[in-house]
Amino acid sequence: MNPTSKNVHLVGTSSFDAEVLQADRPVIVDFTATWCGPCKFLGKIVERIADEHVGRLKVVVIDIDDAPEIAARYGVRAVPTLMVFDRGEKVAQRLGVTTKEKLLEMVGDRADRPRALSA
C-alpha cells in the first residue's frame, strides 16, 4: 500500500527502528494491508492528519504482508491497527477504523512537548 501523501512514509523491517523508534517526534504507525478495505478508508484519515501536523507528528504506514516481523514484534493480529510511539516506546494502540478526533486523542499533547536537543 503506497501512501498518496508526501507526509506519510512507507516503512519496512529495515527502516522501522530509524524511522519510528529513533524519531525526533511522536509517530503514528498505521499497520495495514493492500487487501484490507477498512484500511483504505482509515488511510485517508491518517493522510489528513499527516498533512495537517507536518513537523509536529510523523506518520508511517507498514504493510503487514511486507513486514511481518514488525507486525509480530508488536502483536499485530488484525488490520487496521494504529499505534503511537513516543521517544522509542509504544504509548497507545487502537484496533479498527477510528475517527480523526479519536486518533488525535491517542497522541494527546505529546506533539507539543519540548524535545531535548540531540548531542
Span 35-90, pLDDT tens digits? 999 999 999 999 999 999 999 999 999 999 999 999 999 999 999 999 999 999 99
Q: What is the 3-state secondary structure (H, E, C) of the chain?
A: CCCCCCCEEECCCCCHHHHHHCCCCCEEEEEECCCCHHHHHHHHHHHHHHHHCECCEEEEEEECCCCHHHHHHCCCCCCCEEEEEECCEEEEEEECCCCHHHHHHHHCCHHHCCCCCCC
Q: Active-site positions?
A: 36, 39
- pTM confidence score: 0.91
The domains located in the chain, with CATH, are 8-103 (3.40.30.10)
Output the pLDDT for position 71: 97
Output the pLDDT for position 72: 97
Output the pLDDT for position 112: 75
